[in-house]
Structure 1
Amino acid sequence: MGRAGTVRKSFAALLGVVWLVPVYLIVVNAAKDRATYNQTSAWIPAGISGLWENLGIAWTSGHLAQSVSATAVYAIVAPALAVVIGAMAGYGIVALRLKHGFFWLIVIFASTVFPLQMLLMPLFIGYVDLNIYDTKFGLILVYTVMALAFSAFVMRNFFTGVAREMFEAAVVDGASAMRIFWRIYLPLATPALTAIFILQATGVWNDLLLGLTLSRSQEVRPLMASVASLQGVYGGTTMPVLLAAGLIVSVPTILLFLLTQRAFGRGLALGQF
């Protein structure tokens, strides 16, 4: 191994250690009880005696079971709809050569120009007027729209790399445009679709602002909003309990990336992010 390779690996190892420092602090302090947390340094572990108790308090006091099931629906349905609709948009622009296709791509992607904070009040008013405030349908709708622009942008880039001759040959064989999309283009885009889905699912799972703004009841409210309410609604909640709730929130996304890291890496390369 050359000197350059050693330097790269050492630098990567250093970055890994730096990234793990916050994880260490969360785990160490989530395992403390109230007395131990107040009397010891945040850097010094004090066993794991309080971890399961804190996890149990966070799970029951914050009603996280309901929020986990609701957020799982949001994190699966909304990204799935977004990647399919985004793939359709990219297919129409590239393969069907939609008139003024690049202009429509800019129109779709322009939705990401404005900060989310600017949209919260109009969204709240519109949701109340349409009677979809505090509904699962309303949250699925907004999460799908928020993920759509990025999905369309990436899929348009991906489909530009697909040979035009493949589309023309399918047309000559008598395949319709929709059949070509579902049978040829969509299967070819599976790695890119997987990467987009993972990114968007993680974003939905970790969302706080939209969940706080567009939901109120516990069975509809996303997970991060429920965790945030632990400190505001339940005044007796201690910091170790809040950190334990943070662990509960973090585990699913960590497992998702660990289980899909190869597909995610292929999608990043083929999708031309």
Structure 2
Amino acid sequence: MSDTIRKSLLVLLGLIWLAPVYLIIVNAAKTQPQYAATSPWQATGFDGLFENVAAAWTRGDLSGAFTSTIIYSVVAPTLAVLIGAAAGFAIVALRLKHGFVWFVIIFCSTVFPIQMLLMPLFLWYADWDLYDTRWGLILVYAVTSVSFAAFVMRNFFTGIAHQVFEAAVVDGASSWRIFWRIYLPLARPALVALFILQATGVWNDLLLGLTLTKSEDIRPLMASLAALTGNYGGSTAPVLLAGGVIVSIPTVLLFLATQRAFSRGLSLGQF
């Protein structure tokens, strides 16, 4: 395949990938009469963009949800990445007895879809007063992210020669010190890439947010955005699309700000 054909194919795939983004922005910028009278593909300017953004922000009470979602997207992935790294370190560096069995047990939690766990999870949260609390959502987000984090970090740590651990032990370093001062710094690119993936997943969550929360200041952004379509939301399509633009901007900025570190983490071949 020649370079011209390859580049043309990549451009075509890029345009297909960006088509939904174009549709969201174009229609979020329309007034309701413009949206009803024109094709979704037709751009009509930005007459209604700021009005729609303001309406989505106020009707959906996105300010409180925005703060809560930032907390969830920072705290839960951080806990998951650290716990997953600790599990990978124990299995690979500490040569944990039956380490592969423990790894399989941890990773097997991904076999069951989260939909199967919603009812028992809801009942357990209600019994333990975790329903509609920020700590409850942080806990479930962290737990559901640990298995993938452990999988990635276990694979990464297998690429570090065990002699590094042995040399540190000979020098008198404890296992805890080796983990924090040697293994985690070596795994920084993988940790950053993993954190970005997990934070994006938490940010875009809808199912757990709808199931385990009800308060406007506790539920995450996607659940608040979904409330705009309810019986009491009654928002028009341009307003809903403007809300989609609002909640998408932080993840785009995150990728733009960390794209170099993210690319380095992916280039390690561990994902």
* TM norm. shorter chain > 0.5: yes
Work out the CA distance in 1 between the residues paired with 2:249 and 2:232: 23
Stretch moving more, 139-148 or 40-49: 40-49
Work out the CA distance in 1 between the residues paired with 2:133 and 2:159: 40
Work out the CA distance in 1 between the residues paired with 2:270 and 2:197: 14
- SS of equivalent to 2:2: helix
Work out the CA distance in 1 between the residues paired with 2:28 and 2:232: 17
How far the C-alpha of 1:46 sits from its partner, in A, is: 1.2
Aligned to 2:91: 93
- SS of equivalent to 1:220: coil
Are residues 1:262 and 2:264 paired?
no
Amino acid at match of 1:141: L
Are residues 1:212 and 2:207 paired?
no
Amino acid at match of 2:156: F
Conserved 8 A contact 1:167-1:180 = yes
Measured against aligned partners, the alpha-carbon deviations of 1:192-229 in whole angstroms (never above 9, x if no partner) come to 00010000000000000000000010110000000000
Conserved 8 A contact 1:192-1:271 = no
Are residues 1:69 and 2:67 paired?
yes
Conserved 8 A contact 2:81-2:195 = yes
Conserved 8 A contact 1:154-1:271 = no
Which of 42, 51, 54 is equivalent to 1:53?
51
Aligned to 1:25: 23
How far the C-alpha of 1:4 sits from its partner, in A, is: 2.5
Which of 6, 9, 27 is equivalent to 1:8?
6
- SS of equivalent to 2:142: helix
- SS of equivalent to 1:139: helix
Work out the CA distance in 1 between the residues paired with 2:161 and 2:36: 64
Instruction: Note the 1:140-151 alignment, pairs <5 A.
Output: 140-151=138-149
Which of 144, 153, 160 is equivalent to 1:155?
153
Conserved 8 A contact 1:79-1:143 = yes
Instruction: Note the 1:61-210 alignment, pairs <5 A.
Output: 61-210=59-208
Amino acid at match of 1:253: T
Conserved 8 A contact 1:75-1:204 = yes
Work out the CA distance in 1 between the residues paired with 2:46 and 2:233: 24
Where structure 2 has 5 or more consecutive residues not aligned to the other structure, the ranges are none
Stretch moving more, 232-241 or 152-161: 232-241
Work out the CA distance in 1 between the residues paired with 2:40 and 2:175: 60
Amino acid at match of 1:269: S
How far the C-alpha of 1:235 sits from its partner, in A, is: 4.2
Amino acid at match of 1:260: T
Instruction: Note the 1:33-44 alignment, pairs <5 A.
Output: 33-44=31-42
Amino acid at match of 2:84: G
Aligned to 1:241: 239
Conserved 8 A contact 1:89-1:152 = yes
Work out the CA distance in 2 between the residues paired with 1:63 and 1:215: 15
Amino acid at match of 2:69: T
**Equivalent residues, number:** 271
Identity %: 66
Change (3 A) 1:69 1:210: same
Work out the CA distance in 1 between the residues paired with 2:208 and 2:269: 28
Stretch moving more, 35-44 or 130-139: 35-44
How far the C-alpha of 1:50 sits from its partner, in A, is: 0.3
Work out the CA distance in 1 between the residues paired with 2:77 and 2:269: 16
Conserved 8 A contact 1:155-1:271 = no
Work out the CA distance in 2 between the residues paired with 1:271 and 1:58: 41
Conserved 8 A contact 1:157-1:271 = no
